[in-house]
């Protein structure tokens, strides 16, 4: 189906590799669950549920005690994650994986004090439509609101903090969320905060209106590129070192694969339609 909205992850997909975006959004090719991503989902669920308890009871032991129940719930709602440990009959790998999740949860207590936090929102779905008609959507891990009304957007990351030269890329998701909040509430969040449980780092950024306006312009340009690729059926692969982790190599021309038949109507660009040779069947850029 044709894309109708943009999230931070899908925007990231297109910037990383337009063909990956196509495989995920238009073709909806299945992907295997990964241990790292599933662990992140589990830890996020534990940190969200911990705030159900009274402030004084938000302790590390209490948080760790939530892990087995949240793992059971994850297996019920997403049965495919059971495949991760299908070749682990004794449960040794699963036990080690759960211990790693415990360590990430424990580390959070060295970075923030949940007994002093009362989130206004947890796992908050947000969606805003820009003047252009583009719909932006996403899920914010946590929103804190100070008594004075200042908003802080918090996101948990179970990996390690990026090197300083890559910090801007890491902040893109947070600025995306800040833009949506601004468009919805006419409030520029006071602080954006990334909590890296894998390395024990906290990355913060205090945005200003000009930041959000720049992000909006970037997203509009990105959406225009997505719209053009959707119409023409031309989705350019962009090889990087991340290709090694891609589930879709069998369908990728860079690895000798063939993409599935394009499921949407194709409209040739004007320059191609006017050309005698045309551009039908071409996968490369125009």
91-128 pLDDT tens trace: 899 999 999 999 999 999 999 999 999 999 999 999 99
State if pTM tops 0.85.
Answer: yes
**pLDDT of the residue at 205:** 96
- Give CA–CA dist 3/226, Å, rounded: 8
| Token couple for 182 | 């601004």
The answer to whether the beta carbons of residues 151 and 159 sit under 8 Å apart is no
Inform me whether the pLDDT recorded for 286 exceeds 70: no
- Give CA–CA dist 113/22, Å, rounded: 41
The answer to whether the beta carbons of residues 184 and 128 sit under 8 Å apart is yes
Supply angle C-alpha 183, 164, 122, rounded to 5.
40
Q: What is the mean pLDDT of residues 267-283?
A: 47
- Give CA–CA dist 191/93, Å, rounded: 39
pLDDT in tens, 120-177: 999 999 999 999 899 999 999 999 999 999 999 999 999 999 998 888 888 999 999 9
**pLDDT of the residue at 270:** 55
Q: What is the mean pLDDT of residues 228-243?
A: 95
- Give CA–CA dist 29/20, Å, rounded: 10
**pLDDT of the residue at 213:** 96
């Amino acid at each position: 189906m044709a894309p109708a909205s943009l999230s931070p992850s899908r925007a990231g997909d297109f910037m990383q590799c337009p063909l990956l975006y196509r495989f995920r959004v238009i073709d909806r090719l299945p992907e295997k669950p990964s241990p790292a991503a599933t662990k992140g989902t589990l830890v996020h669920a534990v940190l969200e549920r911990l705030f159900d308890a009274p402030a004084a009871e938000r302790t590390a032991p209490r948080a760790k005690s939530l892990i087995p129940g949240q793992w059971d719930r994850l297996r019920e709602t997403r049965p495919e994650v059971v495949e991760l440990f299908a070749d682990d009959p004794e449960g040794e790998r699963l036990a080690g994986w759960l211990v790693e999740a415990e360590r990430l949860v424990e580390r959070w207590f060295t970075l923030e004090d949940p007994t002093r936090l009362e989130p206004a929102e947890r796992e908050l779905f947000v969606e805003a439509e820009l003047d252009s008609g583009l719909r932006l959507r996403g899920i914010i891990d946590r929103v804190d609101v100070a008594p004075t009304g200042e908003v802080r957007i918090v996101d948990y990351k179970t990996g390690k903090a990026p090197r300083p030269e890559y910090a801007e890329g890491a902040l893109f998701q947070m600025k995306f969320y800040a833009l949506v909040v601004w468009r919805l509430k006419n409030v520029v969040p006071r602080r954006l905060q990334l909590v890296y449980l894998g390395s024990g780092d906290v990355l913060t950024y205090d945005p200003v209106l000009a930041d959000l306006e720049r992000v909006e312009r970037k997203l509009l340009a990105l959406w225009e590129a997505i719209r053009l690729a959707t119409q023409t059926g031309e989705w350019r692969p962009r090889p990087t070192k991340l290709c090694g982790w891609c589930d879709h190599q069998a369908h990728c021309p860079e690895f000798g694969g063939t993409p599935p038949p394009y499921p949407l109507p194709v409209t040739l660009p004007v320059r191609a339609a006017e050309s005698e040779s045309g551009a039908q069947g071409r996968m490369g850029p125009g």
